[in-house]
Structure 1
């Protein structure tokens, strides 16, 4: 029985409190005038802190549902492994052709981030001196430290250097309101400091105040490992490259060495326990109705059908109206025996790949050997009697299609109910922390087979994938590590193999873009990239054969064949001549074979611009707020 972590009444109260405490602002660091609230009457008990924190959960965690554009099948859309099916993915073109910064406007992440940090600081400022000294209060104070760390980390990834503000600033204290940006190194150190405070005071999952859906000790440990790996690798790789985003005098070792002590603390209690239930446990980990007792899932959103209209929309993963997976994910999978794919194998038919590759391929990407989608239990209302995804705007489904032929299947919810579902949503899980540990040790040159056995091989064992062997990996050919896939041939094989493992295990969960940037390979992967899909001939053979469609139960009445055309003015699909793989953007000259493809500016696009409106506010106070490299 799942327990909702936030009472609706408490949400209402929390919204009112936050509105009062944070309503008035001149800029992102402004605070509430003292005559607007009486905080002395609040923040006295653990219950007070919980109520205040509840709306912080609501504002920070995305609510994925079937009726909005906020959906969890698009988390990697800004990267190379996932593209929009019918519109060229704008985020992989130049972010700004001129490099001129904007004002931020309604989407100003800088202002939003500091508004949230103000909420964190408000609670800590008033609660720390007077709240009751109980383990429950300590837990909720630790939640505030966790959220402040998360809020700063979100800003760090976008902007790099940041003003550090850790206390409530007086309403008229412009000297504190307008402070220059601190080094990203100092920002990361502050984040780690907050996470250490959070880890010390939080209950473990399911204990004390760490109820279903609330932050817990385990999630704070994994987040610490994430931050330390992120900043450590950013400093390490950008420093080696001499990029405009390097941190002077820093090589990342300090942060990389933080990962192991944190994760060993977690391994000591968690061991090898991860979700292993069912015939496809990796796939169905993301389709669980109740994550409170699921091994390895630490932080998650609870969806309660009695309190919400819609759940998250994994249901669209078996409908052809989502984003399309690209060759940059498919080509990374190893064979089941743990050896690298030989390049022509990745051009094989889907069922062949399903049989030969890492089992996570089949549990991530739909393969036609599953049969007609509509005949799968729970999918009859939302799917067609077709065993292949539609790859062009044909049939009766209008513009809905999967342009690469690689349909997302990871976490497919097998239910006929669209609304009111109670499938929980994962935000932090153990497997990420294990991969963080393996990567940090590989970069530091201290990784052993024992380390692989308690990290990577624990993860692989869930699906029956061959173990990673340090000696075997050392013998893999250099051709296994192509720069365009995010590998660095100058790095050791084991570093590259753990990058591959991370890409496969965390596929479509929103990590890919951050990884490309911290590895300092963003432009190597993106610039000149023309996305490719599955073998076009496989789809032509199926969709242009009336008897195959009829055999699968599809009504062909009124349909003109061939459905898929490759020539003339009626062409609706095309392939790259050298591989036979689908060209999803064949109608654009920019994405023909050998054409420009996607582009980012490597001297600018690793970070976004600081909004000009913030720079002007600082200037009015005779303080310089610097702009990021490449922006003006």
Structure 2
């Protein structure tokens, strides 16, 4: 099978001109060779061109990512930069790579979409590749919407004299509507995965439907919650209902086709196995992914998964998991010993045991030593996270999800990257229905409970959940004014998608970013259990460490580790995270969106006499 995503296809005469007489990224136009009237007349031409667009969509993102550092999910040795905005004056940067690159990519997609009229026949094969192009344009515009809000919407290839070259910003509602329109066209044209011309790993109908649920939920919830809270980022006259309905519509269509077909790994590894595969072409519920082939110089590096990316989960994230009986801890009858990590993990949702490394699994090196691309002296050999080694992580809750289970090379591996999967779409669907007030037990059974069935987790029962006497705190990411069932869907999302880089986006669209982040000072696992192990020479030697390593592995409060209460504080060397420190901080009137780059604003003003409006709080 050909792997079209392993390389960018470069064809003589099909090279995009990336230079221009002015600085604006919108002032780009193809070379004369690109307008050859004989090209784009048949399906094969569209396939050739679209192949070259894939790499700009399928970038390495690492399914388990420390990009969540700074949120209430991840704890590292250093604070997350996104949430450390105490000293940010609000001065916009001169340039922004996301802005520049996305408009460059959009221009490339516009070229192929503007060439459809050259086709001799719009057959099923041509529809597949044109559908992929519509998906790709939607993908790039969604990134712009996510980062900047409303942006100039361009769907034509612009020349130096084009009137739209200095187009002002369209509203975020308008941009989101155009994204949905592109996805609807993609859905109409694309084949299902591994059917027709949607051979893996090409973009397919499931990918477009799932992505539509993502876009619909994102914009719908943004408009609803920011409107309810009357924030700086609200959309006047909009409540998001139309976008939530779009998410539901796409979800219904996807569920009608996909049903309960979701990947399930080995017994005891049902969830874990999903994230460490070398080929997702036949994997149920993985719709869009980047295929890796180390031999062709296309690879990822998931070795850090075994060393916890220099950090681990927060206590907040761990506390969010339901007990094994499917209930929150405050109303559960499940007993456990919080001072024993293995006992704590065993008492909760089975996905915790496949997300964190439990001491019950034994010495870590016995399982994963051959897979981790670090020197033996830097590997964790015992059953507990090595707290003193910044490479192997801090905080005690050692990440296990996404860790490679094979070895190719010290610097890379063949582990594929998931971009869109079924479980996210099911959660998008369930949340949108709950927000609309139309969710039923049947909806939950075909969404949330399909996900839970993978690991044998107790089903979510709507009537029972709504009857729980539970306090939902906004500081934990919940909506105290909402129904229990909506909050439980939020909980399910945090558990199922943990460390897949959704959390910060969720906090923003729920308009509670500052409520969760400001003043937050994360802690990790219960400390004493780790001291009892690492300061016991006999236990450490028995785990496989050398006598010469004992001194460096010992824990010394206030020196190489510290606590807040009974729990580890890996950020103790930063004054903001001491008992009297300020914790994290974002500006609630600014940091929901990024700044429009100053260079673009100046260019619009100087060359076009047009004002490109800056985002709130930036100058």
Of 453-462 and 414-423, more deviation after overlay is shown by 414-423
Distance 2:354 2:473 in 1: 25
Q: Specify whether residues 37 and 268 from structure 1 end up closer, same or farther in structure 2 by C-alpha distance, changes over 3 A only.
A: closer
Gaps of 5+ in 2: none
Q: Is the 8 A contact 1:73 1:314 kept in 2?
A: no
Following superposition, the deviation at residue 23 of structure 1 comes to 4.4
1:423-438 to 2 correspondences below 5 Å? 423-438=415-430
Q: Is the 8 A contact 2:5 2:54 kept in 1?
A: no
Q: Specify whether residues 389 and 187 from structure 1 end up closer, same or farther in structure 2 by C-alpha distance, changes over 3 A only.
A: same
Following superposition, the deviation at residue 353 of structure 1 comes to 1.7
Find the residue that maps to 2:609 and give its secondary structure. Answer: coil
Following superposition, the deviation at residue 5 of structure 1 comes to 2.6
1:94-113 to 2 correspondences below 5 Å? 94=85, 97-104=88-95, 107-113=96-102
Q: Specify whether residues 562 and 151 from structure 1 end up closer, same or farther in structure 2 by C-alpha distance, changes over 3 A only.
A: closer
Of 218-227 and 418-427, more deviation after overlay is shown by 418-427
Q: Is the 8 A contact 1:212 1:302 kept in 2?
A: no
Q: Does 1:387 align with 2:373?
A: no
Distance 2:81 2:6 in 1: 40
Q: Is the 8 A contact 1:368 1:388 kept in 2?
A: yes
* CA distances 1:172-193 after superposition (whole Å, capped 9, x unpaired): 22x2101111111111100000
Q: Does 1:564 align with 2:555?
A: yes
Q: Is the 8 A contact 1:284 1:412 kept in 2?
A: no
Partner residue in 2 for 1:45: 42
Q: Specify whether residues 582 and 34 from structure 1 end up closer, same or farther in structure 2 by C-alpha distance, changes over 3 A only.
A: closer
Partner residue in 2 for 1:537: 528
Distance 1:598 1:545 in 2: 35
Q: Does 1:302 align with 2:291?
A: yes
Q: Is the 8 A contact 1:22 1:119 kept in 2?
A: no
1:422 is aligned, of 391, 394, 414, to 414
Q: Specify whether residues 346 and 152 from structure 1 end up closer, same or farther in structure 2 by C-alpha distance, changes over 3 A only.
A: farther
1:23-38 to 2 correspondences below 5 Å? 23-24=19-20, 26=22, 27-32=24-29, 35=32, 37-38=34-35
Following superposition, the deviation at residue 530 of structure 1 comes to 0.3
Distance 2:308 2:207 in 1: 34
Distance 1:347 1:278 in 2: 28
Find the residue that maps to 1:421 and give its secondary structure. Answer: coil
Q: Specify whether residues 225 and 33 from structure 1 end up closer, same or farther in structure 2 by C-alpha distance, changes over 3 A only.
A: closer
Following superposition, the deviation at residue 170 of structure 1 comes to 3.1
Q: Does 1:625 align with 2:598?
A: no
Partner residue in 1 for 2:167: 179
Distance 1:196 1:43 in 2: 22
Q: Specify whether residues 187 and 217 from structure 1 end up closer, same or farther in structure 2 by C-alpha distance, changes over 3 A only.
A: same
1:287-366 to 2 correspondences below 5 Å? 287-308=276-297, 311-319=299-307, 321-342=309-330, 347-366=338-357
1:123-138 to 2 correspondences below 5 Å? 123-130=112-119, 132-138=121-127
Q: Specify whether residues 238 and 168 from structure 1 end up closer, same or farther in structure 2 by C-alpha distance, changes over 3 A only.
A: same
Following superposition, the deviation at residue 339 of structure 1 comes to 0.8
Distance 1:572 1:293 in 2: 46
Q: Specify whether residues 592 and 59 from structure 1 end up closer, same or farther in structure 2 by C-alpha distance, changes over 3 A only.
A: same
Distance 1:238 1:509 in 2: 24
Q: Is the 8 A contact 1:373 1:387 kept in 2?
A: yes
Find the residue that maps to 1:20 and give its secondary structure. Answer: coil
Q: Specify whether residues 561 and 201 from structure 1 end up closer, same or farther in structure 2 by C-alpha distance, changes over 3 A only.
A: closer
Q: Specify whether residues 7 and 610 from structure 1 end up closer, same or farther in structure 2 by C-alpha distance, changes over 3 A only.
A: closer
Following superposition, the deviation at residue 304 of structure 1 comes to 2.4
* CA distances 1:533-557 after superposition (whole Å, capped 9, x unpaired): 0011111000000111122222233
Superposed CA RMSD: 2.2
Following superposition, the deviation at residue 378 of structure 1 comes to 5.9
Following superposition, the deviation at residue 55 of structure 1 comes to 2.3
Distance 1:453 1:327 in 2: 29
Q: Is the 8 A contact 2:308 2:399 kept in 1?
A: no
- What TM-score do the two structures reach when normalised by structure 2? 0.93
Distance 2:438 2:308 in 1: 45
Q: Does 1:59 align with 2:44?
A: no
Distance 1:148 1:41 in 2: 24
Q: Specify whether residues 348 and 358 from structure 1 end up closer, same or farther in structure 2 by C-alpha distance, changes over 3 A only.
A: farther
Of 553-562 and 511-520, more deviation after overlay is shown by 553-562
Q: Specify whether residues 234 and 306 from structure 1 end up closer, same or farther in structure 2 by C-alpha distance, changes over 3 A only.
A: same
Distance 1:244 1:443 in 2: 22
Following superposition, the deviation at residue 575 of structure 1 comes to 0.8
Partner residue in 2 for 1:497: 488
* CA distances 1:112-170 after superposition (whole Å, capped 9, x unpaired): 11111111111111234435422111111111100110110000001111111112223
Partner residue in 1 for 2:361: 370
1:160-171 to 2 correspondences below 5 Å? 160-171=149-160
Partner residue in 1 for 2:513: 522
Following superposition, the deviation at residue 572 of structure 1 comes to 1.1
Partner residue in 2 for 1:194: 182
Q: Specify whether residues 345 and 19 from structure 1 end up closer, same or farther in structure 2 by C-alpha distance, changes over 3 A only.
A: farther
Q: Does 1:275 align with 2:263?
A: yes
Gaps of 5+ in 1: 65-69, 394-398
Q: Specify whether residues 320 and 443 from structure 1 end up closer, same or farther in structure 2 by C-alpha distance, changes over 3 A only.
A: closer
Following superposition, the deviation at residue 33 of structure 1 comes to 6.0
Following superposition, the deviation at residue 631 of structure 1 comes to 1.0
1:199-238 to 2 correspondences below 5 Å? 199-238=187-226
Q: Specify whether residues 332 and 72 from structure 1 end up closer, same or farther in structure 2 by C-alpha distance, changes over 3 A only.
A: closer
* CA distances 1:179-228 after superposition (whole Å, capped 9, x unpaired): 11111111110000000000000011011221222100000000001101
Find the residue that maps to 2:287 and give its secondary structure. Answer: strand
Q: Specify whether residues 76 and 213 from structure 1 end up closer, same or farther in structure 2 by C-alpha distance, changes over 3 A only.
A: farther
Q: Does 1:151 align with 2:150?
A: no
Distance 2:337 2:599 in 1: 48
